[in-house]
Amino acid sequence: MAEELRIGVFVCECGINIAGTVDCDGLTEWAKTLPDVVFAIKNRYTCAEPGQQEIKQYIKEENLNRVVVASCTPRMHEPTFRRCCADAGLNPYLFEMANIREQCSWVHSDRKQATQKAKDIVKIAVAKARLLESQKELEVPVTQAALVVGGGIAGIQSSLDLADAGYQVWLVEKEPTIGGLMSYINKTFPTMD
């Protein structure tokens, strides 16, 4: 039998960073109407300790099996919220992040339109959350070496930087010489070498 989906949506205001442009109360209420969403709540600062505790608390209390946080870029806090899920006993890959700050509140000034866009972003994240499956993390051995393809200036510099960092490097070039376009230039500014 297919698993019953129980999605929780946590909407972050980020102080006025998001709440200044997006109607977070309206967004939270609206999120409750999305398919398989059984719980939605708004936080002032979701990444702060009380916000994280709330995620863990409601995963348990509401028996959530998918979590969506609508806040900032995943580059900032995806690991934070994945840890919250894991701490509450949920596979961290059953978590999805909706970026309603960098991709919405920070780049729009019209509250009505920004709120509508935030709804679209949350709707997409919830749709993705419905398809998520638990994942296992694997550890695989990695050879401490690098292959750089292309012996132009960028390739040469990358190879030198990698070698300086202590890695063995193979630089591959299809032409008989390295240097790329630089080898066609007879002088370079400002040294005129």
Residue 76 in the binding site for ligand SF4 (CB under 6 A): yes
> What Å distances lie between residue 25 and 42, 102, 114, CA to CA?
7, 19, 13
Residue 169 in the binding site for ligand SF4 (CB under 6 A): no
Residue 41 in the binding site for ligand SF4 (CB under 6 A): no
> What Å distances lie between residue 109 and 22, 50, 52, 113, 168, CA to CA?
9, 29, 29, 8, 50
Minimum CB–partner distance for residue 25 and ligand SF4 (Å): 16
Minimum CB–partner distance for residue 50 and ligand SF4 (Å): 11
Calpha distance 133→19 (Å, rounded): 31
> What Å distances lie between residue 145 and 112, 152, 156, 162, CA to CA?
52, 20, 15, 9
CA 165 to chain centre: 28
Task: Rule CB under 6 A: choose which of 21, 28, 46, 52 binds ligand SF4.
Answer: 46
Stretch that binds ligand SF4, among 23-31, 44-52, 166-174, 185-193 (CB under 6 A): 44-52
Residue 115 in the binding site for ligand SF4 (CB under 6 A): no
Backbone angles phi, psi at 114, to 5 degrees: -65, -40
Calpha distance 66→137 (Å, rounded): 18
Q: Are residues 100 and 122 in contact, defined by beta-carbon separation less than 8 angstroms?
A: yes
Stretch that binds ligand SF4, among 60-68, 70-78, 87-95, 114-122 (CB under 6 A): 70-78
Task: Rule CB under 6 A: choose which of 72, 84, 94, 148 binds ligand SF4.
Answer: 72
Residue 42 in the binding site for ligand SF4 (CB under 6 A): no
Stretch that binds ligand SF4, among 1-9, 39-47, 57-65, 147-155 (CB under 6 A): 39-47
Residue 82 in the binding site for ligand SF4 (CB under 6 A): no
Residue 38 in the binding site for ligand SF4 (CB under 6 A): no
Q: Residue 38: helix, strand or coil by DSSP? A: strand
As a whole number of angstroms, the longest Cα–Cα distance in the chain is 74
Instruction: Name the residue with tokens 């998520």.
Output: 132
Minimum CB–partner distance for residue 18 and ligand SF4 (Å): 6
Binding residues (CB under 6 A) for ligand SF4: these are 12, 14, 17, 45-47, 71-72, 76-77, 101
